[in-house]
A and B are shown apart, each in its own frame.
Chain A
């Protein structure tokens, strides 16, 4: 089974908060702030992307609990899973 790209994992988490708008939202953040193709997203970009997502989501809601919960879930993507291949954790980009 092919490994799920980092981009798709970010979208999957975002879907919990933004539903059908998740894919468009993440693609927009990656393209406009990181200036790269969303599918080329890698682990090195993640921290920067999460900062931008925090800014964007804070504009959508005043509920800081929701923002922190969402950001917390995204941050877990940065931490490599025990026994997980570092190259795989870095996504399929570059």
Chain B
């Protein structure tokens, strides 16, 4: 792994952002969505840009966050912690790149579907599998790194914590299964257009596995922070752990909401916008916290 220069990180970000904005501005209006919210074509595009610009700010925060963590990781690459942080950093890189990629692919497939309605199922599946693969890879890397960090302290997950963790995850998993299965049974034209067994096999199980990896990573990292020593080191690590926790939880929340989207149509547009902005704000806060923590840790290695 080589140290990335700022241009190597931020040039692709700028190109992806411009592509995304151009798609928002020039893709034909999705008449079904526009009609359901009583929007004219210009209003539809303005709304798209209004939602798109905060998204790009979040992407910038994500790229900045992983770039900062990369720099810290490079500073300690020869240590045991360095190798573990490298996995975390690699996972965050996947997560950061996944944001614009899934956004662009989602818009492109949406645009193609509008012109060729027969592409609907393929478009949904392409967007779904790209988001899913990014989620699986990124959370697996972060989880591997967090577990290595926890192992380096010689501590293990306590049984009481494991019980609460298992209960919480079962609750989330069952709620997700319920929402997905109900969506298929109740609603005609469920977006996946697949038999139930295939939905369970290719949507529910992989997502639950990815989220389990994500939550495990957040929990392991918080335990590593707890068992680490050093007043100043821990202060920086607190920010890093807080940021990582927020990123993982918000990321899972976003995927949860996106994959059970059919239910959200009941919510009014105003509330959907408020919800999206809050989630984006928390997501960006997570990456900024992570960047600040990584910056502080890097300072310790430089002075």
Contact = CB atoms under 8 A, between A and B. Distances in A.
Nearest to B75: A24
Interface stretch (A39-47, A53-61, A81-89): A53-61
B301 interface: yes
A59 B303 CA distance: 8
B230 A15 contact: yes
B53 to A, nearest CB: 35
B235 to A, nearest CB: 8
Interface hub of B229, B235, B301, B303 (most chain A Cβ within 10 A):
B303
Contacts, number: 51
B299 interface: yes
Contact of B228 (A17, A20, A56, A66): A20
The dominant DSSP class at the B interface is: helix
B303 A20 contact: no
Contact of A18 (B76, B79, B81, B232): B232
Contacts of A17: 230-233
A15 B231 contact: no
Contacts of A56: 303
Contact of A19 (B79, B229, B299): B229
A20 B299 contact: no
B303 A18 contact: no
B144 interface: no
B300 A25 contact: yes
B222 interface: no
A16 interface: yes
Nearest to B152: A20
Interface of B: 76, 79, 81, 228-235, 296-297, 299-301, 303
